[in-house]
Amino acid sequence: MSQMSENAAEKLSPKQATALVRVLDLQARWENHRDDPAKSAASTSDLQARQKAFEAFRLALREYVAEYRDAQLPEPTQNVPDRLAIWCRTLRAVLWRAESGTPAMVLAKVYRLADRIAGRVGKTPVERASAAGLSEGVRELDAVIAWCETPTVLPLPVIVSKEAA
Protein backbone atom coordinates (compact mmCIF):
# COMPACT_ATOMS: atom_id res chain seq x y z
CA MET A 1 0.00 0.00 0.00
CA SER A 2 1.47 3.33 -1.00
CA GLN A 3 1.89 6.46 1.07
CA MET A 4 -0.90 9.05 0.87
CA SER A 5 0.04 12.66 0.24
CA GLU A 6 -1.83 15.75 1.39
CA ASN A 7 -2.83 16.40 -2.22
CA ALA A 8 -4.31 12.90 -2.54
CA ALA A 9 -6.16 13.31 0.78
CA GLU A 10 -7.73 16.54 -0.45
CA LYS A 11 -9.22 14.61 -3.40
CA LEU A 12 -10.94 11.91 -1.31
CA SER A 13 -14.70 11.72 -1.46
CA PRO A 14 -16.42 12.41 1.87
CA LYS A 15 -17.47 8.74 2.00
CA GLN A 16 -13.91 7.48 1.45
CA ALA A 17 -12.48 9.99 3.94
CA THR A 18 -15.02 8.87 6.55
CA ALA A 19 -14.06 5.22 5.99
CA LEU A 20 -10.38 6.16 6.20
CA VAL A 21 -10.87 8.00 9.50
CA ARG A 22 -12.29 4.76 10.92
CA VAL A 23 -9.33 2.72 9.65
CA LEU A 24 -6.81 5.26 10.96
CA ASP A 25 -8.51 5.42 14.35
CA LEU A 26 -8.49 1.62 14.70
CA GLN A 27 -4.85 1.47 13.57
CA ALA A 28 -3.91 4.14 16.11
CA ARG A 29 -5.88 2.36 18.87
CA TRP A 30 -3.86 -0.79 18.25
CA GLU A 31 -0.52 1.03 17.97
CA ASN A 32 -1.20 3.15 21.05
CA HIS A 33 -2.01 0.01 23.03
CA ARG A 34 1.06 -1.77 21.65
CA ASP A 35 3.39 1.12 22.45
CA ASP A 36 2.00 1.97 25.91
CA PRO A 37 4.49 0.76 28.53
CA ALA A 38 1.67 0.57 31.09
CA LYS A 39 -0.09 -2.04 28.94
CA SER A 40 2.34 -4.90 28.68
CA ALA A 41 1.53 -8.08 26.84
CA ALA A 42 2.49 -9.97 29.98
CA SER A 43 -1.07 -10.03 31.33
CA THR A 44 -3.69 -12.09 29.56
CA SER A 45 -6.25 -9.28 29.53
CA ASP A 46 -3.81 -6.78 28.01
CA LEU A 47 -2.71 -9.31 25.39
CA GLN A 48 -6.33 -10.06 24.49
CA ALA A 49 -7.13 -6.32 24.26
CA ARG A 50 -4.13 -5.82 22.01
CA GLN A 51 -5.16 -8.74 19.80
CA LYS A 52 -8.75 -7.49 19.57
CA ALA A 53 -7.53 -4.01 18.63
CA PHE A 54 -5.29 -5.45 15.93
CA GLU A 55 -8.04 -7.68 14.52
CA ALA A 56 -10.49 -4.76 14.41
CA PHE A 57 -7.91 -2.69 12.51
CA ARG A 58 -7.09 -5.53 10.13
CA LEU A 59 -10.76 -6.16 9.34
CA ALA A 60 -11.46 -2.45 8.76
CA LEU A 61 -8.38 -2.15 6.55
CA ARG A 62 -9.39 -5.20 4.52
CA GLU A 63 -12.90 -3.75 4.01
CA TYR A 64 -11.45 -0.36 3.08
CA VAL A 65 -9.02 -1.82 0.53
CA ALA A 66 -11.77 -4.02 -0.94
CA GLU A 67 -13.94 -0.97 -1.56
CA TYR A 68 -11.18 1.45 -2.57
CA ARG A 69 -8.77 -0.57 -4.71
CA ASP A 70 -6.23 2.24 -5.09
CA ALA A 71 -6.21 2.85 -1.33
CA GLN A 72 -3.38 4.73 0.30
CA LEU A 73 -2.78 5.36 3.99
CA PRO A 74 -1.11 8.39 5.52
CA GLU A 75 1.78 7.18 7.64
CA PRO A 76 4.61 8.99 9.38
CA THR A 77 7.86 8.23 7.58
CA GLN A 78 10.40 9.64 10.02
CA ASN A 79 10.40 10.89 13.55
CA VAL A 80 11.52 14.45 12.89
CA PRO A 81 9.40 17.60 13.16
CA ASP A 82 9.17 18.39 9.44
CA ARG A 83 8.05 14.84 8.59
CA LEU A 84 5.52 14.82 11.44
CA ALA A 85 4.13 18.11 10.08
CA ILE A 86 3.76 16.58 6.59
CA TRP A 87 1.90 13.60 8.04
CA CYS A 88 -0.32 15.87 10.16
CA ARG A 89 -1.22 17.96 7.10
CA THR A 90 -2.33 14.78 5.33
CA LEU A 91 -4.35 13.68 8.37
CA ARG A 92 -5.90 17.15 8.57
CA ALA A 93 -7.00 16.89 4.92
CA VAL A 94 -8.57 13.49 5.59
CA LEU A 95 -10.45 14.79 8.64
CA TRP A 96 -11.53 17.88 6.72
CA ARG A 97 -13.09 15.73 3.98
CA ALA A 98 -14.75 13.19 6.32
CA GLU A 99 -18.41 13.47 7.24
CA SER A 100 -18.15 11.75 10.61
CA GLY A 101 -15.74 9.97 12.89
CA THR A 102 -13.75 10.40 16.05
CA PRO A 103 -10.03 11.08 15.71
CA ALA A 104 -9.18 10.66 19.41
CA MET A 105 -6.88 7.67 18.96
CA VAL A 106 -5.22 9.21 15.90
CA LEU A 107 -4.47 12.34 17.92
CA ALA A 108 -3.12 10.23 20.78
CA LYS A 109 -0.72 8.66 18.24
CA VAL A 110 0.25 12.10 16.92
CA TYR A 111 0.95 13.31 20.45
CA ARG A 112 2.94 10.17 21.27
CA LEU A 113 5.16 10.71 18.22
CA ALA A 114 5.50 14.43 18.99
CA ASP A 115 6.51 13.60 22.58
CA ARG A 116 9.24 11.28 21.30
CA ILE A 117 10.54 14.01 19.01
CA ALA A 118 10.38 16.60 21.81
CA GLY A 119 12.41 14.36 24.10
CA ARG A 120 14.99 13.66 21.44
CA VAL A 121 15.50 17.24 20.25
CA GLY A 122 14.98 19.00 23.58
CA LYS A 123 11.76 20.73 22.61
CA THR A 124 8.86 21.55 24.93
CA PRO A 125 6.07 19.00 24.34
CA VAL A 126 3.08 20.14 22.31
CA GLU A 127 0.09 21.30 24.36
CA ARG A 128 -2.96 19.09 24.24
CA ALA A 129 -6.68 19.67 24.10
CA SER A 130 -9.45 17.14 23.79
CA ALA A 131 -10.82 16.45 20.34
CA ALA A 132 -14.24 14.86 20.40
CA GLY A 133 -15.04 15.51 16.76
CA LEU A 134 -13.52 16.12 13.37
CA SER A 135 -13.37 19.92 13.60
CA GLU A 136 -11.59 19.73 16.96
CA GLY A 137 -9.23 17.15 15.46
CA VAL A 138 -8.40 19.54 12.62
CA ARG A 139 -7.70 22.29 15.18
CA GLU A 140 -5.43 19.99 17.18
CA LEU A 141 -3.53 18.94 14.07
CA ASP A 142 -3.07 22.63 13.22
CA ALA A 143 -1.53 23.11 16.67
CA VAL A 144 0.84 20.16 16.18
CA ILE A 145 1.83 21.46 12.72
CA ALA A 146 2.60 24.88 14.23
CA TRP A 147 4.60 23.17 16.99
CA CYS A 148 6.59 21.22 14.39
CA GLU A 149 7.36 24.41 12.49
CA THR A 150 8.62 26.24 15.59
CA PRO A 151 12.42 26.14 15.54
CA THR A 152 14.11 24.16 18.25
CA VAL A 153 16.55 26.21 20.27
CA LEU A 154 19.10 23.95 21.86
CA PRO A 155 21.24 25.35 24.67
CA LEU A 156 24.80 26.16 23.70
CA PRO A 157 27.44 23.96 25.30
CA VAL A 158 29.49 25.56 28.04
CA ILE A 159 33.19 25.55 27.20
CA VAL A 160 35.57 25.92 30.06
CA SER A 161 39.09 26.98 29.21
CA LYS A 162 42.08 25.40 30.96
CA GLU A 163 43.02 28.77 32.43
CA ALA A 164 39.63 29.14 34.11
CA ALA A 165 39.77 25.63 35.57
- Residue 32's H or E segment, with its range, is helix 14-35
Q: What is the pLDDT of residue 161?
A: 60
Q: To the nearest whole percent, how much of the chain has pLDDT over 70?
A: 85
- Residues 65-73 have a mean pLDDT of 90
Residue 122 has pLDDT above 60, yes or no: yes
Report the distance separating Cα 6 and Cα 4, nearest Å.
7
Mean pLDDT of 15-24: 96
Confirm if 103 and 137 have CB atoms less than 8 A apart.
yes
Gap between the Cα atoms of 61 and 42, Å rounded: 27
Cα 92 from Cα 88, distance rounded (Å)? 6
Confidence of residue 49 (pLDDT cuts 50, 70, 90): confident
Residue 39 clears pLDDT 90, i.e. is over it:
no
